[in-house]
């Protein structure tokens, strides 16, 4: 798969409120404008989780302006790769043509972790760091053209 400035990588999760939003921010930083990065949800929540915004700010990535979007709004866009960060997301990606590359990662939902504020914050940090590891490994396998 070859990516260029007109290619889109769409990151999908269930609610588009935490994992996919964090992944979008991380991949935008890694992509450095060489391709388009967006995120969406199978069943979008009303807002991005505040702990997702907080833990991304800890590493210098601002996602406070982000908002959840449904996956179907990207059907007419030049999606080349769909990165699904949960099992529900992979079912939602079935609406795309078969010629797009689909990547499947199962990242635990940090918003589903019960506990104290600090335990919840730790779950978001763990998800962020796991997503970053997956993205770092994935991007090294991609052919990216600067045109």
Q: Which residues are catalytic?
A: 13, 86, 93
What burial letters (b/e) apply to 38-67, b meaning 16+ CB within 10 Å? bbbbbebbeebbebbbebbeeeebebeebe
Q: From CA 12, how far away is CA 19, in angstroms rounded?
A: 8
């Amino acid at each position: 798969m070859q990516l260029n400035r007109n290619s889109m990588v769409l990151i999908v999760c269930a609610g588009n409120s935490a994992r996919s939003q964090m992944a979008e921010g991380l991949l935008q930083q890694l992509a450095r404008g060489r391709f388009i990065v967006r995120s969406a949800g199978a069943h979008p929540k009303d807002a991005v989780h505040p702990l997702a915004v907080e833990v991304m700010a800890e590493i210098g990535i601002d996602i406070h302006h982000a908002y959840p979007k449904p996956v179907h709004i990207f059907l007419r866009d030049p999606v080349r790769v769909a990165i699904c960060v949960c099992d529900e997301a992979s079912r939602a990606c079935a609406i795309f043509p078969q010629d797009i590359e689909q990547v499947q990662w199962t990242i635990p939902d940090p918003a589903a972790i019960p506990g104290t504020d600090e335990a919840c914050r730790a779950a978001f940090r763990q998800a962020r760091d796991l997503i970053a590891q997956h993205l770092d490994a994935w991007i090294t396998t991609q052919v990216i053209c600067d045109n």
